[in-house]
Chain A
Amino acid sequence: MALTAAIPGDDSKMNFAVLQFPGSNCDQDCVHVLRNVLGHSAWLQWHKERSLRGADAVIIPGGFSYGDYLRTGAIARFSPVMQAVVEFAGNGGLVLGICNGFQILCEAGLLPGALIRNRSLQFRCEHVYLKTVAPDSPFTRKIPEGRLLRIPVAHGEGCYFADAATIRRLFANRQVLWQYCDAKGRVSDDASPNGSVRNIAGICNATRNVAGLMPHPERASEGILGCEDGRLVFESMIEALTERKLAVK
């Protein structure tokens, strides 16, 4: 896939760097949605590069970076590009980690907690329902109130875990963005595909610029694939970025 760099001077198009590690599998899917479906600029950012090339936001996609050797996401955090991402996030840049990307963000310390083996001990691929718990974030602001999102998960290690104090803090600070729920919005045990504490599917950091979620919004962004609820996550980011660009002017 061609690596297109940021398009200078076109303020309506946001620039997304989609990280590519050895073993990333959903990198092309993210670029496809951002570029071909949503019409923005997106490129594959090789793990050995240190510059984010003027990206407005960074997506860390799903897959099995480094073959999940050692622990999922454990090696990726040491790559040159992740150093750039840590700096970018420190300066308030928007970062979204999807599935393996969420695991990498936790390993890198950009998000609290850890993702461990699914309660069922098996890989699970299925659509789930998500309840948006905190609508006030750059990742959730476009999601209509009360609207459940139907988005696929596909993971073997998606069970979110953190100690009780951290969990309390996450909820208190509105850092829990999404919880697994059933078709009626009930946050029940059964509704979770992996046994996460309090059905946590996705969270953000204290400064609300870095988020991670286990479900794959890029797989739910086109009608032909069955549902488009995932677009709302990307559209939230685009709206937040647009607002920032206008504010800077």
Chain B
Amino acid sequence: MNEPEITLELVQKHGLTAEEYAQICAILGREPTYTELGIFSVMWSEHCSYKNTRPLLKTFPTRSPRILVGAGEENAGIIDIGDGLAIAFKMESHNHPSAVEPFQGAATGVGGIIRDIFTMGARPVCALDSLRFGDLSSPEVRRLFAGVVAGIAHYGNCFGIPTIAGEVYFDKSFDGNPLVNVFCLGVLRHSQIARGKAQGVGNPVFYVGPATGRDGLAGAAFASQDLTEESAEQQRGAVQVGDPFMEKLLVEACLELLATGAVAGIQDMGAAGLTCSTCETAARACTGIEIELSKVPQRAPNMTPYEIMLSESQERMLIIVKKGREAEVQRIFDKWDLPWALIGEVTDTGRMVVKNHGKVVADIPAAKLANEAPVYHREAREPEYLKSTRAFKLDDLPDVKEPVEALKALLSWPTIASKNWVYRQYDHMVRNGSVVCPGSDAAVIRIKEDSLPPLPENSPERGQPVPEKYVAISSDCNAAYVYLDPYEGSKIAVAEAARNLACSGATPLGVTDNLNFGNPHNPELFYQLKEAVRGVGDGCRALDVPITGGNCSLYNQNPSGPIDPVPTIAMVGLIEKPEHITTQWFKDDGDAIILLGDAVDLLDPLYGLGGSAYLQAVHKLKTGRPPRCELEKEKALQEVLLRLVRSGWVKSAHDCSEGGLAVALAESCISQVVARHTPKLIGAKVDLARIKGIRLDALLFGESQGRVVVSTGPEQAEAVVAEANRHGVAARKIGVVGGRNLRIKTAHGTFVWKLGEIHDLWWNSIARLMH
């Protein structure tokens, strides 16, 4: 079979520059074959190599005493949670495929991240997704939204993992470039950590999972370029097709195999499929690997070596088995009726050698391929638009005249409205571990014995009781803030995620980040990325939360323009005791409502209205400097909140974010769900009249940071306020739970909202837009 001749045009079509091509020739000592060109093009794409972002990512804080496997080491990071147990988690994007084929794009995103978790030896126990779409008034946006949600539901539900948390934002900048960031968390014992290393010269290399086809061809390269009409059409074939049933069989079989001790190394075939898994495992182990493509199960006729190496067919794993133990692979994979094939072996040459019917089609030094992708230090330049957005002053904005209507508008604004239309399509209760389901500040899952992978027959850990653990997760990023101030907005993303965890009673343990940005060759967009990384890094350092790994998705733009910059932060925390698990809704009539933190940031000339949901939803403006984030104050607030939770005094906790204090109060009244069509609504009488000299819109809807609304038993209010003050955190009782309305008294007047009415607007807004 004749391979195409390498021309400069062909090199460019592969997304490689002339300099990169020269480097490839230097590494090989000759010109590459067509297959080798394909291999380099995917491994050195932005998606796989992070060539535009590595220098920035190096600045992230990635270590803590609890880290067992850190960022950059393996397919996912692993953190200790005590008692010999650990969690593995990571977030990844599938943005470009979802723009083109939303259902399969999102579904395979879920499949990919699940594999990254069980390839570490962990049993996947929950998922989360952070989604962004354009304006819901557009039928095209509705199509993408419905497709993505259905795809995530299809994959997660069939696989059997609860999709239990997430966020959904709607903003025009995501028209045509939806963001689909998917996260998975798994559980394992320290003794069960598996590595993606091709260890042991002479060890056999197995391929397990369904046959390879032409789907997803060069998906990694596709993800590393701007989306245009033409690219979308051409690349429809690049969208992979997922089979969650296969994945379920695969996870059970792999965990069973890992328990036998016969595995020397294991890696999933994700982006860049067979190419990536073979060269990365060899590079990590400083060994070589040789595979014979005619042994690879194929489901399309006449596949070329290029196609086989670059295919991103789903649900496949590469397993390096200890020599002599091949029979166990066969036994277990036959039990689960999964295809397997012995395709090669580990060598000591340090080279990745690919043969097809005995003829060498690729012969590349593995470590150079995996680790020596070029690194670029792109130019950054402060964007022009910031000049005008920073100039915005409140003098130009009249105060709110109809606050009652304004709150209703905010509660029905899709970004703030209840996301139940989304999560009722996800089985968020499977595995019997969902202690706090979607609908509160953070989700909480319970880890118990059957959350863990199976143990080896003769393990000393067998029969040892497994203490229950409670893990909280939340994902956050206010993209408008990041657009308006990349550094400050990114700090806030971290602070908000930690605040949400604190509201659930959890201490943060680690972060996985997904950086979603436009074209890095554009200095203004690269500035956003650079400043975001700086903000995320500073936020994580101040709050003592390491980054355990993550993903970078660039080139998120189309001819209409780039997306708002989005450094999505998914944060995981641990709750000491089940009694500390806290939810966001008010509980009982008579409870005291206390605001922790300053009601308004008086040092902010915009009083928290910059970049606010109020400004966007009511005034159609996305401008101003976002609220200030003082990390030390945030830290103090969160520590006090956790202290209060542990003392047993906190009955509910909800942080102030989009929509400010009024939305936080409203949500505390209307967000509790008992059953289908059966919410539990509970009113509140709030008195903010002592706060004088502040505009009403800033008081009700300003998004000053560092604020949490808590409720406590009436007798505990004084003690709570005193305890907060003792630790330097402002605190004041602002109201009482009870009644059929939300009533807020201010210096500008008293405003009343009927609970049934605001609940209906908030609960049904998205369903109504989708029908």
Contact = CB atoms under 8 A, between A and B. Distances in A.
A178 interface: no
A95 to B, nearest CB: 21
Contacts of B675: 126-129, 150, 183
A28 B433 CA distance: 11
A128 B336 CA distance: 35
B160 interface: yes
B426 interface: yes
A28 B425 contact: no
B248 to A, nearest CB: 6
Given A123-B153, A123-B425, A225 B676 contact: no
A191 B677 contact: yes
B429 A152 contact: yes
A127 B675 CA distance: 4
Contact of A32 (B159, B432, B462): B432
A29 B676 CA distance: 23
Contacts of B171: none
A66 B676 contact: no
A125 B427 contact: yes
Contacts of B249: 22-23
A22 B337 CA distance: 9
A67 B244 contact: yes
B674 A122 contact: no
B243 interface: yes
B432 A218 contact: yes
Interface residues of B, number: 38
Contacts of A152: 429
A125 B425 contact: yes
B624 interface: no
A203 B33 CA distance: 65
A146 to B, nearest CB: 17
Contact of B676 (A33, A63, A68, A126): A126
A66 B248 CA distance: 10
A123 B243 contact: no
Contact of B450 (A31, A66, A150, A182): A31
Contacts of B676: 126-129, 191, 193
A13 interface: no
B448 interface: yes
Interface string A211-241: 0000010110010110000000000000000
Contact of B424 (A2, A23, A126, A129): A126
A28 B434 contact: no
A210 interface: no
A216 to B, nearest CB: 7
B751 interface: no
B678 interface: yes
A234 B246 CA distance: 32
A154 interface: yes
A1 interface: yes
A64 B157 contact: yes
Interface in A149-198: 150, 152, 154, 156, 182-183, 190-191, 193
A29 B430 contact: yes
Nearest to A182: B677
Contacts of A129: 675-676, 678
A64 B427 CA distance: 12
Interface string B665-703: 000000001111110000000000000000000000000
Contacts of B245: 22-23, 64, 66-69
A83 interface: no
A124 interface: yes
B243 A67 contact: yes
B454 interface: yes
B158 A23 contact: yes
A32 B678 CA distance: 29
Given A123-B153, A225-B435, A23 B428 contact: no
A183 B674 contact: yes
B728 interface: no
B424 A125 contact: yes
A154 B336 CA distance: 25
A182 B426 CA distance: 22
Nearest to B156: A123
B60 to A, nearest CB: 35
30 contacts: A1-B454, A22-B245, A22-B248, A28-B432, A28-B450, A29-B431, A62-B430, A64-B245, A123-B157, A123-B424, A125-B426, A125-B429, A126-B424, A128-B676, A129-B675, A129-B678, A150-B674, A150-B675, A152-B429, A154-B157, A154-B427, A154-B429, A154-B430, A182-B677, A183-B674, A191-B677, A193-B676, A216-B429, A224-B435, A225-B434
Interface of A: 1-2, 22-23, 25-26, 28-29, 31-33, 62-64, 66-69, 122-129, 150, 152, 154, 156, 182-183, 190-191, 193, 216, 218-219, 222, 224-225
